[in-house]
A and B are shown apart, each in its own frame.
Chain A
Amino acid sequence: MSDATIIRPYGDTTGDGMVQMSFTLPVPHDKRAEGAALQLAAKMGMDPALLVHAKAMGPDYSFFIVYGQVNHLVDLSTVEVVEREFPLLSAKEVNGAIKARLRRKLVVLGACIGTDAHTVGIDAILNIKGFAGEKGLEYYREIRVVNLGAQVLVPDLVAQARAEKADAVLVSQVVTQRDAHLTNTREMSAAFREAYPSGRTPLLVVGGPRFGASATTELGVDRIFGRGTTPAEVASYLVHALAS
């Protein structure tokens, strides 16, 4: 089936179109509530829809799990993805490119900003220990890494970037309550634009599990990395953007 461009969801048989969904409606649990749940499923294109679970959540709400067949088709030929715009380099190639073109070490400043204490992302990219069997940026001889750690204030990040003459600033955002990751990132990019002459800001890179890869312009950053990004990808991107 790999060459088909029109597909449907797969339950247990090709083309059956089966999906599952769960949601809450703000009504007490009774027959009417169950009918309302099925009406929503039908309007979402599930036909037939099977209400497999319904339960009161306190006196005023009801929770539902619905399985059903959707009639929508997915056209793979119209799916857009952000392809990697740079070649993946080995550590040796990264070091070589920096040495040849920058003739000095490339300075990378990393931090978690806002109240985010989850340094797991930034550490995976920066620490020698690395991620997914790949060593982090500290391992690259021609990259100088300054990891500011967790809960760095934006003004401090900007000040450190200037003091260290950072070529790139890597910011990790894991906590996403109330879109904190988006607000923090906008605040960060605005602060850099304000503090640096136009066109002279360091390369701004953010990473985290809940960023949309195509939101760079909206957030005012140069590149967004998502879940599963490895240090080599980041290093290769830095070389692509700064040393080529």
Chain B
Amino acid sequence: MSTTRYPSKLALDPSVVRRARTLARQVGRPIVRLAKTHTTVSVERAVLRLAGVTGADPDGIPWVNRLVDAVRVDVGLEHGVALPVWDAMLAGGHHDLTELAQKAATGGVGFRIPEGRDAARATKAATRQVGAGIRTIDRRRQERERMVRRIGDAPRTPWIYLIVATGDIHEDIPQAQAAAREGADVIAVIRSTGQSLLDYVPEGATREGYAGTYATQENFRLMRAALDDVSRELGRYVRLTNYASGLCMPEIATLAGLERLDMMLNDSMYGILFRDINPVRTFVDQRFSRQVHARAGIIINTGEDNYLTTADAVDEAHTVTVSQLLNEYFAKEAGLENWQLGLGHAFEINPEVPDSFRLELAHALLARQLFPDAPLKWMPPTKHMTGDVFRGYLLDGFFNLVGAMTGQGILLVGMMTEAVVTPFLSDRDLALQNVRYVMEAAGKLHEDFHPAPNGFINRRANQVLGEAVELLERITEEPGGTALLAAIADGTFGLMKRPADAGKGYDGVVAHAPTYVNPATDILEGGAAR
């Protein structure tokens, strides 16, 4: 995103900002150690997807699942799938990995952990084949950069972000193209209800989603191709967003890289808190998926807005800041750069609260100034949209105004029919008129907007930052080697208690053996083969 840096407007004490980042690092580091010493079924399946395994059995269970399951039964996953799978390939008799998976699924192949020279040969073969997948991701990234250069980029920031969600990819496509023609810079295809809890990625083009459309490789490909067409027509590259979250986060990230998606929802704790996915599973999956996103040049969007759907947006404002700091730490550690950090926040303060607009400005400015080089994802009101669509339209106008005044990078367009109906065609048009009016009328208002040094906005921003530091300090004081896991277990975030040894997908977490091999991680961390 080629924006000039938003000038600083708040008088934040640099030593407090430094302290906040130091604490976030302290809290995050043990989690990274945990992620580096564990793997999951989905990480291993992502390795196989990078190596080119596609397709599913007649029941729709992908071959990557069948192969990982077969390896796990024979030799466990603590060594990773690469050693046993490529050892079996080198033994001969299989045309390709997919055929090996098919045979393994019927018990026709046995696996072993190769040692010595056999292990070296298997690792080399695996690295070659997985490396080819990563080179495809590299080519997709170059393709995007070339298209943005030749076709043109979004004409201004914030990028306007619109959602489509019909359940049928062939319905989504014309809707997405229409939304792009109406002015959307970013199209997000919402996933089908419950996909995040599926421990496999469905296959093929799908027409039967529920309140959203399944994320599949073929759906990704179809939508990206349709948006390429409309990008050429409009003379600006229209970006595509999906969701790298849930139990298949690493695989979805991989498919996104392979099919040139541009942005992915990818929060460090959302799955834990809101989907009750096991914390360790989430952190391990998340690190791998972020390494893939870093390589693919994908912008991640984090999910701090979700905290405010359950917690009070004033009392708990600092939990958003804490989560942003943690998301930043984990993202940087995984190799993402500032321009790839669409850190989330939202306009969710109860409009009945006195000075609610000034509070929103203070919170949005705080995020802007703490992360001056990140695009920031600004989310519209949902919780206090009452069904009074007229009042909702006004609220969305104020939301857009905060976005304009605080230099947000990605603006999710608010609908006045939020919580009433799936947006009508006219709702989307009215919402875009609202955005356009505010941006044209007040888009440069930030030039004249200088909160008084000791005024309400400055005081509030400093207060929230101070509370964030206090919360981070409390987390570091939690017992055990991984304070963040303890904090999540006792309900520090969003008031939901999530113990480290419970939650969905825990049985898919495996600690590494000393001989664990993952050629994808090796390449992604080494930066080789680019």
Contacts and interface: CB of A to CB of B under 8 A. Distances in A.
Nearest to B422: A177
Interface of chain A, helix or strand or loop or mixed?
A: loop
A115 B211 contact: yes
B304 to A, nearest CB: 13
Contact of B496 (A150, A174, A210): A150
B463 interface: no
A58 B211 contact: no
A175 B274 CA distance: 15
A5 to B, nearest CB: 28
Contacts of B310: 117-120, 123, 149-150
Contacts of A150: 274, 310, 496
A57 B276 CA distance: 42
Contact of B194 (A115, A120, A227): A115
B390 to A, nearest CB: 10
A178 B426 contact: no
Contacts of A174: 419
A231 interface: no
Contacts of A23: 426
B424 A209 contact: no
B221 interface: no
B523 to A, nearest CB: 35
B309 A118 contact: yes
Given A61-B425, A150-B496, A177 B275 contact: no
Interface in B233-290: 274-276
Mostly helix, strand, loop or mixed at chain B's interface? loop
B496 A178 contact: no
Given A118-B383, A178-B422, A180-B193, A58 B276 contact: no
A24 interface: yes
A58 B424 contact: no
A151 to B, nearest CB: 6
Contacts of B102: none
A63 B422 contact: no
Nearest to A123: B310
Contacts of A58: 178, 181-182, 429
Interface string A139-165: 000000000011111000000000000
B165 A177 contact: yes
A22 B426 contact: yes
Contacts of B193: 114-115, 180
Interface in A116-139: 117-120, 123
A96 B422 CA distance: 45
A71 interface: no
Contacts of A227: 387
Interface in B490-515: 495-496
A70 to B, nearest CB: 20
Contacts of A176: 419-421
A25 to B, nearest CB: 10
B426 A63 contact: yes
B424 A24 contact: yes
Given A150-B274, A151-B274, A151-B276, A119 B426 contact: no
Give the most central of A22, A61, A120: most B CB within 10 Å: A120
A180 B426 CA distance: 22
B306 interface: yes
Contacts of B383: 118, 120
Contact of A24 (B211, B382, B387, B426): B426
A149 B496 contact: yes
A115 B496 CA distance: 15
B309 A120 contact: yes
Interface string B130-168: 000000000000000000000000000000000001010
Contacts of A180: 193, 210-211
Interface string B310-353: 10000000000000000000000000000000000000000000
Contacts of B309: 117-120
B264 to A, nearest CB: 18
Interface string B170-195: 00000000100110000000000110
B105 interface: no
Given A151-B274, A174-B419, A177-B211, A63 B429 contact: yes
B197 interface: yes
A123 to B, nearest CB: 7
Nearest to A57: B429
A57 B422 CA distance: 17
Nearest to B166: A178
Q: From B178, B197, B274, B306, name the one whose CB has the most chain A CB atoms within 10 angstroms.
A: B274
Nearest first, the 3 closest Cβ-Cβ pairs linking A and B are: A119-B310, A63-B426, A177-B211
18 contacts: A24-B424, A24-B425, A57-B425, A58-B178, A58-B182, A58-B429, A114-B194, A118-B309, A119-B310, A149-B495, A151-B274, A151-B275, A153-B197, A176-B420, A180-B210, A180-B211, A209-B419, A210-B419
Interface of A: 22-24, 55, 57-58, 61, 63, 114-115, 117-120, 123, 149-153, 174-178, 180, 209-210, 227
Given A58-B181, A151-B275, A174-B419, 20 more contacts: A23-B426, A57-B426, A63-B426, A114-B193, A117-B274, A117-B310, A118-B309, A119-B310, A120-B310, A149-B496, A150-B310, A175-B419, A176-B419, A178-B167, A178-B211, A180-B211, A209-B387, A210-B419, A210-B420, A227-B387
